[in-house]
Chain A
Amino acid sequence: MIAVIDYKAGNLTSVVKALKYLGVKDVVVTQSPEDVRSADKVVLPGVGHFQSTQLLKDLGLTNAVRESAAAGKPFLGICVGLQWLYQGSTEAPDTDGLCHFASQCERFPATFNGTELKSPHVGWNSLEQIRSDSRLLRGIPEGAFVYFTHSWRAPVSDDTAALTNYGGAFTSAVERDNVMGVQFHPEKSAEVGLQVLRNFLEL
């Protein structure tokens, strides 16, 4: 069973639709820590404000995710779901992330190299420096395009599985063992995105 965590931050229809399209029979959209503990895999989608992840702690989901991850079960955070894996975000300084990865998510700078930088970063951008040992990005060619829509981003670190350049480099995919996240929307990234989801499902 795959648990897709619903924390009332936007629209889960597309993620669930993509998982079903890829042949997943047993998808549960849930707010229950019990479902998360018993799931084989956990997906945390999310668009919207980092503040909304506060609900994860309030509902006891943060601990459930920690236990599931510690038990070695694959976890995939999407968009704000990736950001939540870090310590937190300047978007909502009082809301803690999972702290699985060090460092804070920050807003895109207003200018980069002396020119104005539009924010949010919306559209198709490329995956660069894809880590060869990434299981999530297996088979994805260097420079493949995926769809982004966000204003905050995670910095590049040793756990970065792929980076993307927009106002400097940021982490577009992060992966350490069974805990993974993507800043882009695999459910909206055509064949490349479906391949990422397929890779996750095959873990």
Chain B
Amino acid sequence: MLTKRIIACLDVRDGRVVKGVQFVDIIDAGDPAELAHRHAAAGADEIVLLDITATHEGRGTLLDTVKRAAAKLFVPFTVGGGVRTADDAAAVFDAGADKVSINSAAIARPELIGEIGSSFGAQAVIVAIDARRGEKSPEQAEVYIAGGRKPTGRRVVEWAREAEQRGAGEILLTSMDTDGMRSGFDCELTAAVSEAVQIPVIASGGAGSAQHFADVFGRGKADAALAASIFHFGVTDSRELKAELQRAGVSVRLPC
């Protein structure tokens, strides 16, 4: 039976893992390669490395970081942040990533989705969507770009559909309303997107407990869920989380 995936996310800035709360307040959480291996060993089904570097120097360090992290990583490995062209994507794949996650660049030029897909396959392209809806309905949620700083006026559900049509392999949906709050995923928004597309939807933003994951896999109809802050600082690891999820009736991969 196909299991629900738990994805460990590392937000990296200038070669270090950091974690923000609602996209600001940055805390240092360690070395990306070391943390990637630790998460994989602890049973994470996938690793995502999101580069939130603003500086040119930091971009240079990124490929080196990807290479180091990928060297002994034998689970799917996604890299996102700053991938603007098919050449950027090729460099990231060459460094050892299996998938790239594109966000602002896909909004700016949606053709990019198909361009990367035609060379590396649709499975290698994740379109990341940062969504904010406040008190509004999921259908009215708006796409934000530039690390959550810029509203686009585009509806999330509609953009997810377009991304699928253009050849995205998966959607990574982050709720900016719940991100870093540890109070649960936005299940309504996740379900709305998951029902609108055929491709897998990865829920992100708000993980704080095993129950939150069970909720987003159930009510939220997510195929995978991503967590960053919950795994750092020894809060919990995938093995514990999965054991709890299994008790809650969620089908997960329990590593041997």
Contacts and interface: CB of A to CB of B under 8 A. Distances in A.
Interface of A: 9-11, 13-14, 17-18, 21, 47-49, 118-126, 141, 144-145, 147, 149-150, 165-166, 185, 187-194
B246 interface: no
B199 interface: yes
B83 to A, nearest CB: 14
A5 to B, nearest CB: 16
Contacts of A9: 121
B124 A188 contact: no
A18 B98 CA distance: 13
B223 interface: yes
B165 interface: no
Contacts of A189: 74-75
B93 A118 contact: no
Nearest to A119: B198
Contact of B256 (A13, A118, A192): A192
A166 B98 contact: no
Contacts of B4: 123
Interface residues of B, number: 33
A121 B199 CA distance: 9
Contacts of B253: 124, 145
Given A123-B45, A145-B253, A189-B74, A13 B96 contact: yes
B169 A125 contact: no
Contact of A11 (B124, B198, B255): B124
9 contacts: A17-B96, A119-B198, A120-B169, A122-B123, A123-B45, A124-B253, A188-B75, A188-B76, A193-B74
Given A11-B93, A13-B94, A48-B121, A122 B71 contact: no
Nearest to B96: A13
Given A13-B93, A124-B253, A145 B120 contact: no
Contact of A165 (B1, B96, B119): B1
Sorted nearest first, the 3 A-B pairs with minimum C-beta distance are A48-B121, A145-B253, A149-B123
